[in-house]
Amino acid sequence: MNIQYATSAADHTKCFEVMKELRPHHNLESFLRTMDAMQKEGYHLLYLEDEGRMVSVAGFRFTTTLYDGLIIDFDDFVTLTNGRSKGYGAMMFDHLVGIAKEKGIKMIHLNSAHHRHDAHRFYLNKKMNIIAHHFRLEV
């Protein structure tokens, strides 16, 4: 198994099959266009392959906040449905914790939709705490 940064359109195309499970409103074209814009804004995308098959992706940013200083902020984190409970998500999560430790980052943040109960269970098992509600307003 191999975790790498997705840095090219070819990498992003490979990641799309996994990412569309979390972000089904995107087609490949809109995904690639959005990925290009997000990477220019500091977004990083990691992917995990197992025997040449893409199984998990994690998108994140390094962000500085008044409340926690420099953090890793997850935007996207998903493992293929048929790849869950095989350790892929844990491997990716632990890799990101390692990145945080290497950079002296003390906190990792993420938002998770209220209906994603399996994801919540995973995060709680990884010792994450529920600390806030996330609000948004469509304008």
The overall average pLDDT reported for the chain is 95
pTM comes to: 0.91
Cα R_g (the chain), whole angstroms: 15
pLDDT digits (tens, 9 = 90+) for 19-29: 999 999 999 99
Domains and CATH numbers, the chain: 2-125 (3.40.630.30)
Would you give the distance in Å from CA 48 to the centre of its chain?
A: 11
Task: Report the b/e string of 107-123 with b at 16+ CB within 10 A.
Answer: ebbbebeeeeeebeebb
Which pLDDT belongs to residue 134? 86
Q: What mean pLDDT do residues 94-110 have?
A: 97
Instruction: Give tens-digit pLDDT for 38-47.
Output: 999 999 999 9
Mean pLDDT of 27-36: 97
Structure confidence at residue 75 as a pLDDT band (50, 70, 90)? very high
CA distance 55 to 117: 20
Average pLDDT over residues 58-71: 97
